[in-house]
Amino acid sequence: MRIGVLAIQGDFAEHIAMLERLGAETTEVRLPRHLDGLDGLIIPGGESTTIGKLAVDFGLLDPLREFGKTHAIWGTCAGAIFLSKDARRSQPLIGIMDITVERNAFGRQVDSFEADLEIAALNPATQPSAPYHAIFIRAPIIESVFGAASVLSTLPDGRIVAAQQGKLLATSFHPELTQDTRFHQYFLSLAR
């Protein structure tokens, strides 16, 4: 299994470390040809406007849209914004996931927080459910899911923080900054 991590801005190194811990081969993706032969792609957290502008400069937007038609892609935080069809302002988006997002929905950097989430998809039916400790850093909220997307997890107040559409995943939070490998394992199961 070979998983690419978009490596033009943001915390791609942490995703690569997590994937290698799980035994996946990894590729840093900076150009369209780096997508060749990959089973899936992760788009890291960072700054979605910067990732978008650089993706345009490197000719990546259309190749990423094509890749997502047949392959697994997971966007964390800025990556989730980049996957969305609508971020309610004008910035380059891949725009392949049926979600609308609100950027910086919790406020500024100092308003970053952690929370325990219930994520049924991560818990095998045979085991008691264990909460997922999620880290939110100037995070977006997934305002709505429509079309083919569905909700994977919400905060206790009902706001959506993870969504799935077939092999596409979007999370407001950062599993790559924890020691819990379950979300990366879940993504590998989608890419397989």
Residues of this chain that interact with ligand GLN (CB under 6 A) are 45-48, 77-78, 81, 103-104, 137-138
**Strand, helix or coil for residue 69:** helix
Contact between residue 176 and residue 44 where contact means Cβ atoms under 8 Å apart: yes
Q: Which is nearer to ligand GLN, 39 or 47 (CB)?
A: 47
Q: Supply the minimum distance, in Å, between the C-beta of residue 109 and ligand GLN.
A: 9
Q: Which is nearer to ligand GLN, 112 or 123 (CB)?
A: 112
Name every residue whose Cβ is closer than 8 Å to that of residue 62 and which is 6 or more positions away in sequence.
none
Q: Is 77 a catalytic residue?
A: yes
List b or e across 147-162, with b for residues whose CB sees 16 or more CB atoms inside 10 angstroms.
Answer: eebeebbbbeeeebbb
Choosing from 15, 34, 71, 174, which is the catalytic residue?
174
Q: Is 174 a catalytic residue?
A: yes
Q: Which of 34, 37, 52, 47 is nearest to 1 (CA)?
A: 37
Q: Is 25 a catalytic residue?
A: no
How far apart, in Å, do the first and last CA atoms of the chain sit?
7
Q: Supply the minimum distance, in Å, between the C-beta of residue 112 and ligand GLN.
A: 8
With DSSP H G I counted as helix, E B as strand and the rest as coil, what are the percentages for the chain, rounded to 5? 30, 30, 40
Q: Supply the minimum distance, in Å, between the C-beta of residue 123 and ligand GLN.
A: 25
Choosing from 34, 102, 176, 184, which is the catalytic residue?
176
CA angle, 29 then 80 then 54, to 5°: 45
Q: Which is nearer to ligand GLN, 165 or 172 (CB)?
A: 172
Q: Which is nearer to ligand GLN, 1 or 115 (CB)?
A: 115
Task: Tell which phi-psi region holds residue 60, choosing left (phi > 0), alpha (psi between -120 and 50) or beta.
Answer: alpha
Q: Supply the minimum distance, in Å, between the C-beta of residue 119 and ligand GLN.
A: 19
Choosing from 14, 15, 71, 77, which is the catalytic residue?
77
Please list the active-site residues. 77, 174, 176
